[in-house]
Chains A and B, each alone.
Chain A
Amino acid sequence: MIVPMAMTRYHVPEEVCDSPASERIFDIRDLSVTFNGRPVLQKVNVMALNRQVLAIVGPSGSGKSTLLRTMNRTLELTRDARIISGDIHFKGEQLYGNGTDPRIVRKRICMVHQKPVAFPMSIEENVLFGVRFHKNWNGRTKDEIVQSCLERVGLWNEVKDRLSEAASRLSVGQLQRLCIARALANDPEAILMDEPCSALDPVSTGRIEELILAMRPHLPIIIVTHNLAQARRISDQSLFLSDGKSLEQDTTERIFTHAVNERVRDFITGKVG
């Protein structure tokens, strides 16, 4: 399908553009990424605000995961990926500045993956995985950290009697919440989620959504999702990505009712994708 140039122009609502810099958690400008020289993201723009959930939606293969992975510097773990241009600011700091340590970036901006993975250790040690490395005890004992993180993800009551069991015995839904607890234990300043519910049943999905809404006041969350209804339920802002280009960002309400871009409208009403 041929789309007129005017339609592909990126659109950002004014209140986002006008927000003070301190409220901008992520400010991504003209980000371009290639895999083996093949462009995967082209001049992508994103703006995420504090105390908000930003949903990234778009057809499969449009580069959503790639975008997310640039935001905590895990993209560089893939050998063929290159960032060829663009700027990413996190709370006003350059994410890819000279001398920036990617591991500190990853500690401050955590990622929850699509498929939960249990590390080969106990439930408790899974939660403490990052803490033991970063030593961010902040005066808390290990039991306190484990309990508070598991409580925040609503897993505490289910596992409190079996903290020293192997984490691989948990169900997938429980495991995904454990992964979120593991990320929270790092004391992150933002959380990125890549289709966190796509491996889960509706009940577990509901619990994760509750969790996201509960975290929103304290933590900015950016979530990639294929489920438009979910984006609508939990996000404040939505960004539409297609073929590696950011087509439109707006409040979720407006994007789902009055999208400016025709392709976004088509996608949302189910005509394509």
Chain B
Amino acid sequence: MTRRFFSKSLYWSDAALKALSFLALGTGVSFLLLMIVFVLRESSLGSGFTMNLFDFLVRDPWAPMATPPSHGIFHAWISTLVITGLSLLLAIPLGFGIGLFLSEVAPRWVQQVMQPALELLAGIPAVVYGFFGYVTLVRNFEVWFDMPAGECLLIAGLILAVMVLPFVASTAAEAFRSVAQELREMAYGLGVTQLYVMRRVLFRKALPGLFAAVALGLARALGETLAVLMLAGNTVAVPHSLLERGQPLTALLATELGETVVNSAKYQALFASGFILLIVVLGINAVIWILKHHFLERSHA
């Protein structure tokens, strides 16, 4: 019996490519784990809670120069929360509206114009947004509200809303589009108006996707650095109104890291806040993942 089905050397390239591509994948992905571990290691959290978490988050002020120095980030996460909340408050209704417009109302050619327009909006670098906000809003706020320096949480929130808008809008559009066409036709077949269909059918069916859109916007807004750094005012005081200045977490990191002695208490505090931010964003990402998969399975069924 001939043994002609046996493999020739011709096939080594396949095994090599498979091994190499696996190696590439492993290298890239392992950096995520390395990053988590390293940021944790550099933070004080790694060396067994040298600082009390409650003090760190709530009680202590940020006063590295004081004696004794104190490193609390209450002011920072409050600013982050206010700016993020404000930006989502603006971006979500508008983003859902745009999503609904794109998937239900807009004629084909309008969709084709809007798509690149939103991509353009998403493609503008953060620092350019910061600059734009500075030359348009900050200067005018100084005049309108008679402020000595115009930077404030309100401006940072407004610009941040524009920045997260394209992400919210395109995810929402996708969510509305993925509602089955038959369902839509069945609803219209009952002779009701478009508004009625949107309210009763589309929103309910697209709900997980819309939630994912909100989560995506939230993750983006929390991690945004340069624009809030340039617009929020960068003072370590705890803000009491939207027209006051503040220093969101990311701005705190960007401001302080360059001037910090490696492995000092301040350095560790900065990495601890970075670690918290990282974990929060990854958690939100996990929620998005679950929603997306849940959502996909539902719309297949």
* Interface range for A: 10 to 19
A7 within 8 A of partner (CB):
no
Contact call A104/B8, Cβ cutoff below 8 A: yes
Q: Contact string, A249-269, partner B, CB cutoff 8 A, digits 1/0?
A: 000000000000000000000
Contact call B6/A100, Cβ cutoff below 8 A: yes
Contact call A105/B1, Cβ cutoff below 8 A: no
Q: Contact string, B1-35, partner A, CB cutoff 8 A, digits 1/0?
A: 11111111011000000000000000000000000
Contact call A92/B5, Cβ cutoff below 8 A: no
Of B3, B4, B6, most buried by chain A (CB within 10 Å of CB) is B4
By Cβ-Cβ distance, the 6 closest A-B pairs, closest first, are: A101-B7, A100-B5, A104-B5, A105-B5, A99-B6, A101-B5
Q: Give the residue of B5, B7, B10 whose beta carbon is less than 8 angstroms from that of A97.
A: B5
In the complex the two chains form, what is the Cα distance from A97 to B5 in whole Å? 9
Contact call A104/B6, Cβ cutoff below 8 A: yes
Other A-B pairs beyond A93-B4, A100-B6, A104-B5, 20, CB < 8 Å: A92-B1, A93-B1, A93-B2, A93-B3, A93-B5, A95-B5, A99-B7, A100-B5, A101-B5, A101-B6, A101-B8, A101-B11, A103-B7, A104-B4, A104-B6, A104-B7, A104-B8, A108-B5, A134-B10, A135-B10
Chain A contacts for B5, CB-based, 8 A = 93-95, 97, 100-101, 104-105, 108
What are 30 A-B residue pairs whose CB atoms fall within 8 Å in the complex? A92-B1, A93-B1, A93-B2, A93-B3, A93-B4, A93-B5, A94-B5, A95-B5, A97-B5, A99-B6, A99-B7, A100-B5, A100-B6, A101-B5, A101-B6, A101-B7, A101-B8, A101-B11, A103-B7, A103-B11, A104-B4, A104-B5, A104-B6, A104-B7, A104-B8, A105-B5, A108-B5, A133-B10, A134-B10, A135-B10
In the complex the two chains form, what is the Cα distance from A92 to B201 in whole Å? 63
- 8 Å CB interface, A165-182 against B: none
| A interface SS class | mixed
Chain B contacts for A134, CB-based, 8 A = 10
In the complex the two chains form, what is the Cα distance from A134 to B11 in whole Å? 10
Closest partner residue, chain B, to A90 (CB atom): B5
Interface residue total, chain B, C-beta cutoff 8 A: 10
In the complex the two chains form, what is the Cα distance from A194 to B198 in whole Å? 46
Q: Contact string, A86-122, partner B, CB cutoff 8 A, digits 1/0?
A: 0000001111010111011100100000000000000
* Closest beta carbon of chain B to A120's beta carbon, Å: 20
* Closest beta carbon of chain B to A137's beta carbon, Å: 14
In the complex the two chains form, what is the Cα distance from A267 to B4 in whole Å? 40
* Closest beta carbon of chain B to A119's beta carbon, Å: 18
In the complex the two chains form, what is the Cα distance from A134 to B7 in whole Å? 12
* Closest beta carbon of chain A to B141's beta carbon, Å: 56
In the complex the two chains form, what is the Cα distance from A93 to B4 in whole Å? 8
Closest partner residue, chain B, to A94 (CB atom): B5
* Closest beta carbon of chain A to B244's beta carbon, Å: 59
Closest partner residue, chain B, to A103 (CB atom): B11
